[in-house]
Structure 1
Amino acid sequence: MTTTVMASAATTSLAFFAPGGVTAGRSAARLAAPPRHRRALQLVRAQQTSDDGAPNKPAAAAAPKKLGLWDALAFSGPAPERINGRLAMVGFVSALAVEAARGDGLLAQAGNGAGLAWFAYTAVVLSAASLVPLLQGETAEGRSGGVMTADAELWNGRLAMLGLVALAVTEYLTGAPFVNV
C-alpha cells in the first residue's frame, strides 16, 4: 500500500522583477510584494491506495473487539479503575448516609463489621455489572453521551476515592465522625 499526498500552495517570489531587471528598492518592493498578513492557503490531501494504484474503500464498521477476563482485569485494562471508582462512589455516599442516620463514623462502621455483608454483595454485583459489557465487546466510551460521559464517571470515581480517604483521615485526626448529629 502506498500513500499519495497532493499539496497545493500559493508561492511568492523572493526577488521583484522590473522591466529593466531586478530591483531591490523599498518602493518597488512595497508595490510588488503581497501584504504580510495574507497567508498562502495550503491544502493537503492524503489517500491510502492499494499496490495497483486504486484508492482503498473505507472498511465497514468493524465488530467490537471482545476482551478476555484477564485482559479486562489487567493493571492497564479498562475494568479496575472503573470498578473501583463505582465502588468508591457507592461507598462514599453510603458512609455519609450511615453517619447522618446513626452517628457512626466511617472507622466505627468498618470496625463493627455490620455492613461487611452489604459491602461484599455490592462489590460482587457492581463488578459483574461492569465486566459483562466489557466481555461482550462494549466500551464505556461508546455508551456515554451528553452530560454522563465516560470521563466524567472516571473523575467522579477518582474524587470519591479521595473523599473516602479524606473522610477516614479527618475522623482519625478529630476523633469524631465527619457528620456530627
Structure 2
Amino acid sequence: MGGGNRPCPSPVEVPPAAPSPAPAVAAVGPPSFNEVMAFNGAPEIINGRLSMFGFVAALGAELSSGESVLRQITEAPTGIICSGLLLIIGSLVPVFMRSKQQSVGPFTPSAEMINGRAAMIGFAALLAVEVVRGTALFAA
C-alpha cells in the first residue's frame, strides 16, 4: 500500500500545572474592630438589641409613671447610658471571641434579627408620635 512519508505528530505541550490554592485557614485570634463593624450583621444585631431593650423599658416606664420617652431620658440619662453601654459590651464580647450564634428553641438568630428590626421601627415611631402629640403614648 502506498504509505508515503508522513511527518510524526509533534508532542502536545502541556502547560505546567498551576499551584493548587492554599486551603482556607480559619482566622485565628480576635478579629479587629473594623472586621467586627463590617457589614456582616454585628452592628444591626447590637442596634436591634438596644432597640428591643429601649422599647420595653420605655413602655414599662411610661405605663408606671405616665412620662414620655424624652422626659425619661432627661430625668435619668446616667442610668440609660450605663444600661446601653453594658448591652453594647455584652453584645461585642461574643463577636470578638468569634462565637457562633446558637438557636435555643424559638430564640434563633433570624428571629432576633426580625425582632430587632421591628423594635427599631417601633422605637422610632414611638419617639415620633410622642414628639407630635407632646405627651406619652402609653400614659396610664
**TM-score, with normalisation over the residues of structure 2?**
0.73
Q: Is 1:71 aligned to 2:40, yes or no?
A: no
Segments of structure 2 that go 5 or more residues without pairing to the other structure are 1-16, 18-22
Poorly superposed stretches of 4+, deviation over 4 Å? 62-66
Query: Equivalent residue of 2:75, what SS?
Result: coil
Matches within 5 A, 1:31-180: 66-74=30-38, 76-110=39-73, 113-140=74-101, 143-180=102-139
Which structure ranks higher in relative contact order (CA pairs < 8 Å, sequence separation ≥ 6)?
Answer: 2
Cα offset, 1:64, TM superposition:
6.6
Q: Is the 8 A contact 1:64 1:137 kept in 2?
A: no
Which amino acid letter does the alignment assign opposite residue 153 of structure 1? E
Query: Equivalent residue of 2:107, what SS?
Result: coil
Which amino acid letter does the alignment assign opposite residue 71 of structure 1? E
Matched length: 117
Say which structure is richer in helix: 2
**Separation in structure 1 between the aligned mates of residue 27 and residue 90 of structure 2, nearest angstrom:** 19
Query: Equivalent residue of 1:132, what SS?
Result: helix
Say which structure is richer in strand: 1
Segments of structure 1 that go 5 or more residues without pairing to the other structure are 1-50, 52-58
Q: Is the 8 A contact 1:86 1:157 kept in 2?
A: yes
